[in-house]
């Protein structure tokens, strides 16, 4: 798990929901180009436990033009959860391919492209 300040004793005055989003965004921001992570693993690394659905819902509410790498977050087993043929689904696929991520049968090879923050990010 990536270290974050306690989400219950937040000195910044954030609400618990704001603190959860902040922890998520800080962790998401660290995913390097060409790497991907599942919703569930991202939740764990952000200190949110088994909150995969919270991650998905929060990312779906990002404002247009967000610089956070939302496209690097996938379903379990590397499954692309945004449907092909939709604007967001096609944008995700284009961004991943531009970063050198191979997509086959609507999936990404997590062994090859999965982000493991304990390893060198080079």
| Per-residue pLDDT at 8 exceeds 80 | no
Dmax over CA atoms of the chain, in Å, equals: 46
Q: CB count, 10 Å around CB of 52?
A: 19
How confident is the model over 5-17, as a mean pLDDT?
69
CB 48 within 8 A of CB 20: yes
Determine the Cα–Cα distance for residues 34 and 98; give it in Å rounded to an integer: 9
Q: Across all residues in the chain, what is the average pLDDT? A: 90
Domains and CATH numbers, the chain: 16-113 (1.10.10.10)
Q: What is the CA radius of gyration of the chain?
A: 14
What pTM was computed for the model?
Answer: 0.85
Q: For residue range 41-78, what is the model confidence (pLDDT) as tens digits?
A: 999 999 999 999 999 999 999 998 999 999 999 999 99
| Per-residue pLDDT at 5 exceeds 60 | no
Q: pLDDT confidence of 32, banded at 50, 70, 90?
A: very high
Question: Residue 48 class from Cβ within 10 Å (0-12 exposed, 13-18 middle, 19+ buried)?
Answer: buried
Closest among 119, 122, 94, 117 to 26, alpha carbons compared: 117
């Amino acid at each position: 798990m990536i270290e974050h300040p306690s989400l219950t004793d937040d000195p910044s005055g954030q609400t618990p929901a704001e603190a959860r989003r902040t922890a998520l965004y800080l962790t998401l921001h660290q995913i390097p180009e060409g790497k991907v992570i599942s919703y569930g693993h991202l939740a764990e690394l952000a200190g949110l436990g088994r909150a995969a659905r919270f991650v998905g819902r929060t990312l779906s509410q990002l404002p247009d033009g967000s610089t956070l790498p939302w496209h690097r977050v996938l379903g379990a087993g590397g499954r692309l959860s945004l449907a092909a043929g939709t604007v967001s689904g096609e944008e995700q696929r284009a961004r991943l391919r531009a970063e050198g991520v191979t997509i086959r049968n609507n999936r990404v090879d997590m062994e090859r492209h999965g982000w493991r923050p304990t390893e060198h990010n080079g």
